[in-house]
């Protein structure tokens, strides 16, 4: 890191200045003291001949969180509640920035510390455990995420009953985790249980109730009940549009899910239309380099490829891969999935050299994250063999 200043520059002020303000010149310098901590210095010549110097320090959210944690650790100790809170806040910052592995390490530290100091059932402990579970799920560690989520659900039920909103939130996550682990019938049962409770407690038009209907549609889709799933996704999207607005994240999620089912039914034109609408809103509201935008673009690219628009599909998937790599890192599951999708596209186009190179990167990433014996790694190796041997 560069700690030096960029140099002094002089700028003549135009017009007459009030007494005590800049009379003739402004000098400036800036630089970086440490990673994430920058400074700027300005010097103004005043009317009385005494220079006025102003020094301004700026810290990024990560640098501020690291400084706070370091100070708390030094002054309070490693298990003090203030230290654990500072660690939790740094983990949140890191997670948002895409530093997933370091964030998970910090979440584990917070969970262990809060369990020891506050107890397993304390609200702060459960909040940290829930965040850790969501992070692990995002990184593909679904079995551990389910174990943690089940513990959180049990603690909420013990403290407040099965119909408590926090208990229902945990049960809904268990349904999604069961679905991700190919236990669709169990996921449907859990989703129906959550939906019935939320309709009774919150009402049919509540956001969480709509989310439960969306989860149920996902379980139906996973069991091949595409007509039922498409109808339910469409109803959720229409209700969310009416109650929350068409740009609400739940509206967009349900509409994208409906598009996925339409693609599975071979209704490519409808699927493309819905996905393009979702992408347009994501780009407008969250920006082109946001994770949600990239996810929508990835889905659109897959549909475009299915409709034969291979040039547009491949170009879009390259954009997605580059975006995920920048935001999340090259080993993040979302990045690797985009890599795998691009490999499939290039292979079908006859570009075996690039497809093989991408497949090798996928295998290496899965080996690092999940280990050589994981089924996902084995599947990646099988795909690599298919490309190398010229199959597909």
DSSP category for residue 122: S
Tell me what pLDDT residue 12 has.
31
Is residue 23 scored above 60 in pLDDT? no
Quote the CA–CA distance of 344 and 358 in Å, as a whole number. 9
Of the pLDDT bands very low, low, confident and very high (cuts 50, 70, 90), residue 26 is: low
The residue behind tokens 């009317």 is: 47
CA angle in degrees (0–180, nearest 5) for 293-143-128? 70
pLDDT of residue 8: 19
**Proportion of the chain in helix, strand, coil states, percent, rounded to 5:** 70, 5, 25
Residues 94/106, Cβ–Cβ less than 8 Å: yes
Whole-model pTM?
0.81
Please give the share of the chain, as a percent, with pLDDT higher than 70. 91
**For residue 229, pLDDT beyond 90:** yes
- State the distance between the two ends of the chain, measured CA to CA, in whole angstroms: 48
Strand positions, DSSP E, the chain: 26-34, 37-44, 52-59
In the structure, what pLDDT confidence band is assigned to residue 31 with cuts at 50, 70 and 90?
A: confident
Kindly indicate the confidence band of residue 11, based on its pLDDT and cuts at 50, 70 and 90.
very low
CA atoms within 13 A on the CB side of 223: 17
């Amino acid at each position: 890191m560069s700690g030096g200043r960029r140099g002094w520059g002089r700028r003549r002020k135009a017009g007459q200045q009030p007494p005590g303000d800049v009379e003739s010149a402004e000098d400036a310098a800036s630089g970086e003291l440490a990673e994430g901590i920058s400074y700027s210095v300005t010097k103004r010549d005043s009317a009385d001949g005494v220079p006025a110097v102003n020094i301004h320090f700026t810290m990024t959210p990560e640098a501020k969180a690291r400084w706070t944690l370091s100070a708390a650790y030094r002054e309070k100790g490693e298990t003090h509640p203030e230290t654990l809170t500072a660690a939790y806040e740094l983990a949140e910052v890191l997670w948002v920035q895409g530093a997933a592995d370091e964030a998970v390490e910090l979440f584990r530290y917070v969970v262990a510390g809060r369990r020891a100091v506050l107890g397993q059932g304390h609200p702060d402990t459960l909040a940290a455990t829930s965040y850790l579970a969501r992070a692990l799920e995002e990184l593909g560690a679904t079995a551990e995420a389910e174990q943690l989520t089940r513990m959180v659900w049990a603690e909420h039920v013990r403290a407040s009953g099965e119909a408590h909103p926090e208990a229902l939130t945990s049960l809904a996550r268990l349904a999604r985790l069961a679905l991700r682990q190919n236990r669709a019938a169990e996921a449907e049962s859990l989703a129906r249980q959550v939906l019935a409770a939320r309709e009774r407690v919150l009402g049919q038009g509540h956001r969480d109730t709509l989310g439960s209907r969306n989860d149920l549609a996902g379980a139906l889709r996973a069991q091949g009940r595409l007509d039922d799933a498409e109808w339910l996704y469409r109803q959720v999207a229409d209700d969310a549009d009416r109650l929350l607005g068409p740009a609400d994240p739940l509206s967009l999620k349900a509409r994208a899910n409906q598009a996925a089912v339409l693609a599975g039914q071979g209704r490519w034109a409808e699927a493309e239309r819905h996905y393009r609408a979702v992408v347009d809103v994501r780009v407008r509201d969250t920006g082109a380099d946001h994770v949600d935008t990239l996810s929508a673009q990835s889905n659109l690219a897959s549909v475009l490829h299915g409709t034969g628009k291979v040039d547009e599909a491949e170009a879009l998937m390259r954009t997605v891969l580059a975006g995920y790599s920048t935001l999340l890192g090259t080993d993040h599951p979302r990045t690797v999935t985009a890599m795998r999708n691009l490999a499939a596209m290039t292979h079908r186009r006859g570009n075996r050299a690039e497809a093989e190179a991408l497949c090798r990167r996928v295998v290496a990433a899965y080996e690092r994250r999940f280990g050589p014996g994981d089924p996902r790694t084995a599947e990646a190796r099988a795909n690599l063999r298919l490309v190398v041997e010229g199959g597909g």
